[in-house]
Structure 1
């Protein structure tokens, strides 16, 4: 469920749930959001915990 997904990746509580679609068992997001996440990964001001969540999310795709 999406609630379980948010428990694994609480960072995504800040995003509109409409961005997320479950496809073949994975929660997917549009390319524009993936690009935004990659920019956040490269932001030195991004919190460590947030960076880890983003990395794990992107690695599973």
Structure 2
């Protein structure tokens, strides 16, 4: 469920749930959101915990 997803990746609680679609067992997001996440990863001011959540999310894709 999306609630379980948010327990693993609480960073995404601030995003509109409509961005997320479960496809073949994976939570997918639009390319524009993936691009935003990659920019956040490259932001030196991005918090460590946030960076780890984003990395784990993107690695599963």
TM-score range, shorter chain: over 0.9
Distance 1:25 1:3 in 2: 14
- Structure 1 stretches lacking a partner, 5+ long: none
Q: What residue number does 1:35 align with?
A: 35
The CA deviation at 1:27 is 0.4
Distance 1:45 1:14 in 2: 18
TM-score, length basis structure 1: 1.00
Task: Please give the root-mean-square deviation of Cα atoms over the aligned residues, in Å.
Answer: 0.2
- Structure 2 stretches lacking a partner, 5+ long: none
TM-score, length basis structure 2: 1.00
